[in-house]
Amino acid sequence: MTTSKSNLFKPIKVGNTTIKHRIAHLPTTRSRATAEHVPTDLNKTYYTDRAKSGALIIAEATLISLNQGIYPHVPGIWTQQQSDAWKEIVDSVHAVGGKIAVQLWALGRVGNAKLLKENGLPLTGASPIYEHEQAEKDAIEAGNPIQELTQEQIKDLIYNQYTNAARLADAAGFDFIELHGANGYLIEQFISPVTNKRTDKYGGSIENRSRFLFELIDHLNTVVDPAKLAIRLSPLNDFQVPEVNPSAEEDYTYIIEGLQQRADEGKGLAFIDVVDERYNPDGSIRPRTVQFVDKVWKGVLVKGGSFTYDKKEGEWTTIQSVADADDRTLIGFGRHFIANPDLPERIKNGHPLNPYDRSTFYAGYNYGYNTYPFYGQEIKADPEEKLAGKALA
C-alpha cells in the first residue's frame, strides 16, 4: 500500500485539536465498567493501548444519568466519581499521544424497564411506543409501562442531565463530547416519524421532530466550547426501530443544514460521526446511501460501520480512496479495532489482523478485551479466567 501521497496517514485538524492520522476508533459498548457504572482499570488499559498509534478514540456510549435508561456494567458520567475515573483514562490516552471523545448516551424507550423500576425510575421515550412485543411484556411485568416524556422532563434532560454530563466530561479533559444521536436511542427516537408520534411542538414535522436535538446542541454550545461538540447519526438505521426512517434523506438533510448553518455562524461541531451506508447487521449492503450528508456538511466527517480490508487481507485501497476523496474524512473502525490495538499501524504496514471474537464483546471480563496482541506480540490468555475490572476512582 502506498501511503506517501494519501490523506489516510496525514494529520487533520478537528475542532481546535490536531489528530495524527485519519483512522478512528468508533464507540463500541463493551460492558466492562463496575456495577455502579464507574470506569475501571480494564477500560484504562484498553483505551490507552489503542491510543498509542495516535488515533482518535471515540469512547463507548456513556450514560448521562440513571434516569434515561440503565444497562448493566456500562459506564456513566453523572457523578464526580465517574468523572474522576474518566480523567485517569483521558490523561493516560493523552500521555501516549492519542485524543479521546466521550459519547453521551440517553437510552429512551429501549432502556431496561426492570432495572429502572428497581431504581424507582420510569421507562420513558419520545413517544409511548415499545421496541417490540417482548419489551412491552417485560415492562408491564416490571410494573413500569413506558411513558411519553413530558415537556418538563425534556427541559430537565437538556438543562440538567445532559448539561451535568457535559460539564463533568469537560472537567475530565475529553478532547470532544459526542452526542449519541444514532442507533435507535433517544435523540433518534425524536427524529424518526416511526418512533415519534407526539402531537406537541416536539412531534409532527421534521422542524418539530428535530427540535429536541437543536435545543440540546444550542444549549450545550453555551456550556462547553462548540469546537468540542460532535454528534453521531445513522440516517439509514434499522436497529432498535421498526424500519428505516421512510423520510430519512429529507429529514437528515434538514438536520445537517441546521448544523451547517450553526457552523457558518461560528458554532460548528467538531465533527459529525455518521454510520456509513454499507452497514447492515446481517452483513449485506444497503441499496441507499448517505452521500447527501457529504453534500451539505462542509466540516469534518467520521465515517464507519463496515469498513474492512479489500478482497485480500492487507489491502486497504477502499479506505484510502475514501480518505483521499476529500481532506476532511476520518475512517472509523469498531470490530477490527477491538481485536487489534495497533490497527492503524497494521493498516499502514499491511500486516495481517487478529480476528475478533463476537462471543466476548459483552462478556464483562478482561478476556476478549485486553487479550488481543499487538503485531508480533504473544499473549497467553485463559478464557476461563474471570478477571473483572476495578474502579479507577
pLDDT in tens, 19-28: 999 999 999 9
Give the pLDDT band of residue 279 (cuts 50, 70, 90).
very low
In DSSP notation, 155-201 reads HHIIIIIIHHHHHHHHHHT-SEEEEEE-TTSHHHHHH-TTT----ST
Element (H, E) at 227: none
Residue 277 pLDDT > 90 = no
Query: Could you say which of 46, 47, 130, 185 is catalytic?
Result: 185
Of 155-169, 216-230, 238-252, the one with minimum mean pLDDT is 238-252
* Euclidean distance between CA atoms 393 and 382, whole angstroms: 28
Continuous H helices in 9-119: 41-51, 80-95, 113-118
Instruction: Give 147-158 as a 3 state SS string.
Output: EECCHHHHHHHH
Whether residue 63 has pLDDT greater than 90: yes
- Report d(CA 387, CA 366) in Å as an integer: 5
- Model pTM greater than 0.85? yes
Half-sphere exposure of 281 (CA within 13 A, CB side): 5
Q: How confident is the model at residue 386 (pLDDT cuts 50, 70, 90)?
A: very high
Residue 178 lies in a domain: yes
Would you place residue 363 in the very low, low, confident or very high pLDDT band (cuts 50, 70, 90)? Answer: very high
CB distance 215 to 256 below 8 Å: no
With beta carbons less than 8 A apart as the criterion, state whether 101 and 25 touch.
no
Report whether pLDDT(82) > 70: yes
Other CB atoms closer than 10 Å to residue 32's CB: what's the count? 26
Q: Is residue 177 part of a domain?
A: yes
Of 7, 2, 101, 8, the residue nearest 51 (C-alpha) = 101
Helix (H, G, I), strand (E, B) or coil at 354: coil
Q: How many helices (H) and strands (E) does the chain have?
A: 14, 12
Question: What beta strand segments (E) does 267-309 contain?
Answer: 271-275, 301-304
Tell me: pLDDT of 163 over 70. yes
Q: Per the domain annotation, does 271 fall within a domain?
A: yes
| pLDDT value at residue 42 | 98
> Which is it for the CA torsion 308, 312, 314, 319, positive or negative?
negative
Residue 365 falls within a domain, yes or no? no
Q: Is 147 left (phi over 0), alpha (psi -120 to 50) or beta?
A: beta
Report the pLDDT value the prediction gives residue 311, as an integer from 0 to 100: 66
278 pLDDT band, cuts 50/70/90, is low
Q: Is residue 68 part of a domain?
A: yes
Concerning whether 185 is annotated as a catalytic residue, the answer is yes
Between these two residues, 239 and 372, which has the higher pLDDT value? 372
Share above pLDDT 90 across residues of the chain, in percent, rounded to a whole number: 87
| CATH number for the domain harbouring residue 259 | 3.20.20.70
Domain span at residue 276 reads: 3-360
**Number of residues assigned to the chain:** 393
Instruction: Give the model's pLDDT for residue 305.
Output: 81
Among the residue ranges 1-15, 108-122, 172-186, 362-376, the one predicted with the least confidence is: 1-15
pLDDT at 1 over 70: no
- Please write the tens of the pLDDT for every residue from 34-57: 999 999 999 999 999 999 999 999
103 CB contacts (<8 Å, ≥6 apart)?
27, 58, 59, 60, 61, 62, 178, 179, 180, 232
283 pLDDT above the threshold of 80: no
Residue 282, pLDDT above cutoff 60: no
How many domains is the chain partitioned into structurally? 1
* Structural domain includes residue 373: no
| Alpha carbons 112 and 70: distance in angstroms, whole number | 6
The answer to whether 129 and 115 have CB atoms below 8 angstroms apart is no
pLDDT above 60: residue 287: no
Residue at 359: amino acid letter: S
Nearest CA to 58 out of 280, 384, 337 is that of 337
- Please indicate, yes or no, if residue 375 is contained in any of the structural domains: no
Candidate from 45-59, 216-230, 299-313 with smallest mean pLDDT:
299-313
Pairing state of beta strands 17-19 and 12-14? Answer: antiparallel
- pLDDT the model gives residue 242: 86
Helix (H) or strand (E) holding 229, with range, is strand 229-233
DSSP H or E stretch at residue 307: none
Worst-scoring range by mean pLDDT, 72-76, 205-209, 282-286? 282-286
User: What average pLDDT does range 2-20 have in this prediction?
Assistant: 88
Evaluate if residue 59 carries a pLDDT over 90: yes
Round to whole Å and give the CA distance between 341 and 364. 18
Give the pLDDT mean for 370-378. 97
What percentage of residues in the chain have a pLDDT greater than 70? Answer: 95
> Whole-angstrom distance between the N-terminal and C-terminal Cα of the chain?
44
**How remote is the C-alpha of 312 from its chain's centroid?**
29
Evaluate whether residue 186 is within a structural domain: yes
The Cα 25–Cα 344 span in angstroms is: 10
Mean pLDDT of the chain: 94
For residues 5 and 375, the model is more confident at 375
